[in-house]
Amino acid sequence: MNESPTNSAIEGDEARRMAESAETRASQVRLRRHRILVNVLRIGLVVVMLGGWELAGRFKWIDPFFFAMPSLIGEQIWTWLTEGTSQGPLWQQVLVTLEETVLGFLIGAVLGIICGVALGRNRLLADVFSIYIKIANSIPRVVLGSIFIISLGLGMASKVALAVVMVFFVVFGNAFQGVREADRNLIANARILGASRRQVTTAVVIPSALSWIIASLHVSFGFALVGAVVGEFLGSRQGIGLLIATAQGSFNAAGVFAAMIVLAVVALAAESLITLLENRLIKWRPAQLAETGF
Amino acid sequence: MPAPVADREVAIELRDVSQRFVTPDGRSLTALRNFDMTVRRGEFCAVVGPTGCGKSTTLSLIAGLARPSAGAVRIMGQPVTGIDSRVGFVFQQDAVFPWRSVLDNVVAGPLFRGRAKGEAIALAKDWIRRVGLTGFESHYPHQLSGGMRKRVALAQTFINGPEILLMDEQFSALDVQTRVLMQDELLQHWSTASASVVFVTHDLEEAIALADRVFVLTAGPATVKAVYDIDLPRPRLTAEIRYQPRFIEISRVIWNDLRDEVLISYERARKPTSTDNRP
């Protein structure tokens, strides 16, 4: 008599647990199916796009001389890999462009963060400089490339300078905004706990601006790459930009596309590095749910 | 009028304080008007009033986060000119640093104030133990419950040994059970720290359960409408004290006073054009 309610309670528990685990399993199966479907569709899309392009070229619906074909592009990359480019081995070109990009990115990002935090923390500086920054920001900055080539020459410096200018404004803008958005309560709390002005900056303002700054780093690495490549375009002796310029000069469409693909690979690799850095720096953030989609 | 108290015994004094703000669209808004308040050393005072009447403004003035437009604010007999190291402030919203672990949050105050690192960490660990968070030292705030975050905030404030403790509706976001637990914990910490407390709340029962004296404010601009001595014996258990006849009696008296003000501010909230000032 006494045992029966407990027993049924245990059985109820058991049943509930089983139902729950069945539900979990079912939702896992659903998730896996969804993921497989997404991947199949992705691959299918690539096959259709590239296949269509290739066929269109083969059947002369489009002129492969102007628009190239995936097979020609593949061939071009293979030639570059095995025999090198007209300017030397491919890896050397990639290395040169990467060096300019990374240097420009680092210098631009550091300057941007310093200026953004300084202006964000100082009302007077912000009021004085904001208008000039707006003006400078409205100029299409790639045109500065010509100035840099004239003043800094055909070497690496001019490309780095262009990349710096491209990166600076993006990072600066976000750092400034991030500092301005820092929670008033957190700042007040730090001050009452005994923080000096400098300690407030390092302990509250910069950490809370960090997610803004890192968001800008994602975008601005791409900008640095644009700066370096355009700089090479305008005048250089080495790099992927020159590769594109040479291909363009000899009406080699496949060469232009091949260089684009090399650039895309570089950009994707850098992007994943920045994501790694982000996860290290902002590990205090709650984990994002449903990252795989729904 | 309460009997005048000797200067030595006064922890916080607001004399004829007024505070005006200018809203972004250029209108002047009066939060406090001719506000008088005296808190003795070691006394636990609660401030109740309708929502948005200027309760938090009094705390900002005492903390030195804001300056009064008129009148004098003194703590320990000296005028407030800025943030004072003897003041602790527990904020309404979560003000613990989300990017710091529990230990790094609690240790922040002593490190800001230049204590040696080892010493500060030992002190912080002791306070983490006292608020019952041992084992959570390396957790981040988002991994904790609301009540645990409040404990972090308490440890963060108490570790500096404040002589004056300001609290701004800090339990209002918690569920009722957690709130009662936290109130008892707060009373325990307070009885060992012997700080003077100003506790702002809109919850009258909370005010009576915790405080030695309750200040009732008028609907904004706030002045002190009445002050009540709460003669309930200490130590108190806040979960049980609210069923005592004396508690009910006191809360009925104070509620009579408070209700009018709440109604006024409720009426105003329904007519957004006239939210501003009394003449």
Q: Would you state the structure tokens that stand for residue A101, as one six-digit string?
A: 């990009």
pLDDT at A21: 83
> DSSP secondary structure string, A50-65?
HHHHHHHHHTTSS-HH
A187 in B contact zone (CB under 8 Å): no
Residue A290 has pLDDT above 60, yes or no: no
Q: Is A54:A69 a contact under the CB 8 Å cutoff?
A: yes
Taking residue B83's Cβ as centre, other Cβ atoms within 10 Å add up to 16
Tell me the domains of chain B and their CATH numbers: 7-86+163-274 (3.40.50.300), 97-161 (no CATH)
Helix segments in chain B, DSSP class H: 55-63, 102-106, 108-112, 117-130, 146-158, 176-193, 204-210, 238-241, 245-270
Burial A176-190 (b: 16+ CB within 10 A, else e): bebbeebbeebbbbb
In sign, the C-alpha dihedral spanning A82, A88, A92, A96 is negative
Of the candidates A192, A199, A282, the beta carbon closest to that of B88 is on A192
Pairwise CB contact (< 8 Å): B88 & A208: no
Min CA distance, A186 vs chain B (Å)? 5
Q: Which amino acid is residue A115, in one-letter code?
A: C
Copy the structure tokens of residue B37. 């308040």
Q: What is the DSSP letter of B9?
A: G
Angle formed by the axes of helices A206-234 and A90-121, to 10°? 140
Query: How far off is chain B from A126, nearest CA to CA, in Å?
Result: 19
The confidence score (pLDDT) of residue A287 equals 57
Structure tokens at B93: 């919203």
CB contact under 8 A, A192 and B108: no
Burial class (CB in 10 A: 0-12, 13-18, 19+), A281: middle
Those of residues 20-59 in A touching chain B at CB distance below 8 A are: none
- Each residue of B212-271: pLDDT tens digit? 999 998 887 888 889 999 998 888 888 888 899 999 999 999 999 888 888 888 888 776
Q: Is the pLDDT of residue A74 over 80?
A: yes
Which sign does the torsion angle of CA A69, A71, A72, A77 carry? positive
* Contact (CB<8Å) B97/A286: no
Q: A204 at the B interface (CB within 8 A)? A: yes
**Interchain CB contact of A284 with B (< 8 Å):** yes
pLDDT value for B264:
85
pLDDT digits (tens, 9 = 90+) for A188-232: 999 999 999 999 999 999 998 988 898 888 889 999 999 999 999
Q: Which of A195, A196, A207 sits opposite B99 (nearest CB)?
A: A207
A71 contact B CB<8A:
no
- Going across the sheet that includes B78-79, the strands are B28-40, B10-22, B70-75, B78-79
Residue A152 pLDDT greater than 50, yes or no: yes
Tell me: ipTM over 0.95: no
As given in the structure block, the two tokens for residue A241 are 């930009």
**Quick one: tokens of A290?**
């449903």
Provide the pLDDT for residue A292. Answer: 33
Mean pLDDT by 10 residues, chain B (279 residues): 62 91 81 90 91 84 91 91 92 86 94 93 93 92 90 92 91 86 89 89 90 89 89 87 91 90 83 50
A208 part of contact set with chain B, CB < 8 Å: yes
Q: Which pLDDT score is estimated for B160? A: 93
SS3 at position A230: helix
DSSP string, B76-99: TTEE--S--TTEEEE-SS--S-TT
Q: Please compute Rg for chain B using Cα positions.
A: 19
d(CA A30, CA A22): 12
Q: Which residues of B touch A287 (CB under 8 A)?
A: none
Task: Please tell me whether the overall predicted TM-score, pTM, comes out greater than 0.80 for this model.
Answer: no
Which A-chain residues 116-135 have CB contacts (< 8 A) with chain B?
none
Q: What angle do CA B251, B223, B217 make, to 5 degrees?
A: 20
pLDDT above 70: percentage of residues in chain A:
93
Is A139 in contact with A181 (CB distance < 8 Å)? no
Sole residue written with tokens 């007519």: B271
Q: What is the largest CA-CA distance in chain A?
A: 98
Nearest to A238 by CA among A130, A98, A93: A93
Distance from CA of B140 to the nearest CA of A (A): 6
DSSP string, A162-225: HHHHHHHHHHHHHHHHHHHTS-HHHHHHHHHHT--HHHHIIIIIHHHHHHHHHHHHHHHHHHHH
Q: Which of B88, B60, B65 is nearest to B158 (CA)?
A: B88
Q: Does the beta carbon of A286 lie under 8 angstroms from any beta carbon of chain B?
A: yes
Tokens of B41: 């050393």
- Nearest chain A residue to B107 by CA: give it: A193
